[in-house]
Amino acid sequence: MSETLEQRIKRYWNAQPCNIKHSPAEPGTSQFFRDVSARRYRVEPHIPEFAGFHLWQGRRVLEIGPGIGSDAAEFSRAGAEYYGIDYSEASVELARKRFEVESLEGTFLVGDASDAETYQGLARMDLVYSYGVIHHFPAIEKIITNVQDILAPGGEFRFMVYAKNSWKQAMINKGLDQYEAQAGCPYAKSFTREDIYHLLEPGFTIERIRQDHCFMYNVDAYKQGRYELEPWFEAMPVAMREAVKEYLGWHLLVKARKN
């Protein structure tokens, strides 16, 4: 019997949780988690401003797709009442280990974010946060409905999905790149700003949409821990590289509020 798309998605992310190769240290160790976070926020420095970790002290935060827990740890350290739901058991296992190693408080659940039953027993949230996750699941409309239901009145939904009008999507379209670093990603989708409005209205008011991030490093050097720009990016003035990120960035960053 052939696997369903959902089963292939789960198997893919269980085999290689996001960012698991970002440290030479043993997965689950303090050094491993330090390395993973250091690389994540060096390559994607826009994450802390977008997430606003410091804004959520004493408030309930639900993350859809925490992976191995890098942003989760920042929310918890900032004093949020943190919950995370992930489809990948392997990712949740590492995220829980991280919270144990770093003496952090939070709750992780293995579940399908498109299934309303996954949220049963959870209180209403002040923030639902999802970074680079919901574009990997075909039932995104159901996820949006569940987010609206779990948010408290006036609660925020902050999420990142891939941008269709981007440098990377152009490279993918020409067969020069792929959606994820690891080959064989079963499902990924990119979005325009118009797509986001279609998904969220009328349940949400969109407060901000912007683009950021273009991976400009040589991949082989990056895997060895070196940050060497590809020659075509190296030749660009800094202002030009920043323009590529702002107008052709791979990350579509959305801040919305529940109506």
From first to last of its 259 residues, the chain has per-residue pLDDT tens of 689 999 999 999 999 998 988 999 999 999 999 999 999 999 999 999 999 999 999 999 999 999 999 999 999 999 999 999 999 999 999 999 999 999 999 999 999 999 999 999 999 999 999 999 999 999 999 999 999 999 999 999 999 999 999 999 999 999 999 999 888 999 999 999 999 999 999 999 999 999 999 999 999 999 898 999 999 999 999 999 999 999 999 999 999 999 9
Sign of CA dihedral 51, 53, 57, 60: positive
- pLDDT for res 1: 66
Continuous segment of H or E residues that includes residue 38: helix 30-43
pTM of the model: 0.96
Burial 124-147 (b: 16+ CB within 10 A, else e): ebbbbbbbbbbbbbebbeebbebb
- pLDDT for res 181: 86
- Judge contact between 113 and 87, C-beta under 8 A: yes
CB atoms within 10 A of CB 223: 12
Q: Is 20 exposed, middle or buried (0-12, 13-18, 19+ CB in 10 A)?
A: middle
- pLDDT for res 182: 86
